[in-house]
Chains A and B, each alone.
Chain A
Amino acid sequence: MSITTTSTPRTGMLSRVLRSIAATCAVIGSAAAMEDGWANPVLDKFPTATVNTTGLATGDHWVTVGQLHSVTGTMAISETGSVEAERLAIKQINDMGGVLGRKIKIVQEDGASDWPTFAEKAKKLLIKDKVGTVFGCWTSASRKAVLPIFEKENGMLYYPTFYEGLEASKNVIYTGQEATQQILWGLDWAHKEKGAKTFFLIGSDYIWPRTSNKIARIHIEKKLQGCKVVGEEYYPLGHTNFNSLINKVKLAKPDVIYSVVVGGSNVAWYKQLKAAGITGASLEKDKRLLLTISTTEDEVRGIGGENVEGFFACMKYFQSLPNENNIKFVAAFNEMYKDKYSGKASIGDVTQAAYLGPWLWKATVEKAGSFDISKISAASGGIEYKEAPEGYVRIHDKNNHLWSKARLGKMRLDGQFDVIAESPELIEPNPYPEGYK
Chain B
Amino acid sequence: MTAKITLILLLAGLGYSWEEIKGIAIMQGFAGLNLFAIFLLMALGLSVIFGQMKVINMAHGEFMTMGAYTTVLLSWLCETHAPGLLTWYFPVAMVAAFFVAGAVGFLTEWAIIRHLYKRPLDTLLATWGLSMIFQEAFRQIAGARETSATMPEWLMGSFQPFEGVDIPINGVFLLSACLVLTGLVVANLYYTRTGLRVRATVLNRDMAGAVGINTTMTDRMTFALGCGIAGVAGCAFTTVGSISPSAGGLYIVDTFMVVVFGGAGSIVGTILAAFGIAQAQSVLEFFLSGVLAKVFVLGAVVVILMIRPQGLIASKIRK
Where the two chains meet, the residues of A that have a C-beta atom closer than 8 Å to any C-beta of B are: 72-74, 76-77, 80, 205, 229-236, 238-241, 243-248, 250-252, 264, 266-268, 271-272, 274-277, 299, 301-304, 306
Q: A77-B144, A264-B244, A276-B158 are in contact. Are A244 and B168 (CB under 8 A)?
A: no
Which of B148, B166, B168, B291 is the one whose CB lies under 8 Å from A234?
B291
Contact yes or no, B166 A277, CB < 8 A = yes
Cβ B291 vs Cβ A241 within 8 A = no
| CB pair A275 B6 closer than 8 Å | no
A-B contact pairs, 26 of them (CB 8 A): A74-B244, A76-B144, A77-B144, A77-B244, A80-B144, A80-B145, A229-B2, A230-B6, A233-B3, A240-B240, A240-B241, A241-B35, A244-B31, A245-B285, A245-B290, A251-B7, A251-B20, A251-B24, A264-B242, A271-B240, A271-B241, A275-B157, A275-B169, A277-B157, A302-B146, A304-B148
**Of the candidates B10, B144, B146, which one forms a contact with A267 in the assembled complex, judged by CB atoms under 8 Å apart?**
B146
Residues of A near B294 (CB, < 8 A) are 236, 239
Partner of A244, one of B16, B144, B286, B291: B286
Q: With contacts A77-B144, A229-B2 known, is A251 near B10, CB below 8 A?
A: yes
**In the complex, what residues of B have CB within 8 A of residue A267's CB?**
146, 148, 241-242
B146 lies within 8 A of A275 (CB): no
- Which of chain A's residues have a CB closer than 8 A to the CB of B293? 244
| Proximity string of chain B (272-288) to chain A, C-beta cutoff 8 Å, 1 when within and 0 when not | 00000000001001100
Q: How far is the CB of B250 from chain A (nearest CB, A)?
A: 5
Q: Looking at the assembled complex, report how far the CB atom of B35 sits from the nearest CB atom of chain A, in whole angstroms.
A: 6
How close is B134's CB to chain A, nearest CB, in angstroms?
14
Q: A243-B35, A276-B27, A304-B150 are in contact. List 17 more A-B contacts (CB 8 A).
A: A77-B145, A80-B144, A232-B2, A239-B294, A240-B240, A240-B250, A243-B31, A243-B168, A248-B286, A251-B7, A251-B16, A252-B10, A264-B247, A266-B146, A275-B157, A303-B148, A303-B242
- Main secondary structure on chain A at its contact with chain B? helix
Number of interface residues of B (CB under 8 A): 47
The answer to whether B31 touches A235, judged by C-beta atoms less than 8 angstroms apart, is: no
3 A-B pairs with the lowest CB-CB distances in the bound complex, closest first: A267-B242, A302-B146, A275-B168
Q: Which residue of A lies closest to B160 (CB)?
A: A277
Q: How many A-B residue pairs have CB under 8 A?
A: 139
Closest Cβ neighbor of A236 among chain B residues: B291
Residue among A230, A268, A275, A276 with the highest chain B CB neighbour number at 10 A: A275
What A residues does B28 contact at CB under 8 A?
243-244, 247
Which single member of B30, B150, B156 contacts A274 (CB below 8 Å)? Answer: B156
User: Which B residues from 204 to 228 make CB contacts under 8 A with A?
Assistant: none
Question: What is the chain B residue whose CB lies nearest that of A239?
Answer: B290
Contacts of A272 in B (CB 8 A): 168, 240
B166-192 contacts to A, CB under 8 A, are 166, 168-171
Q: How far does the Cβ of B11 sit from chain A's closest Cβ, in whole Å?
A: 9
Question: How far apart sit A239 and B286, CA to CA, in the bound complex (Å)?
Answer: 15
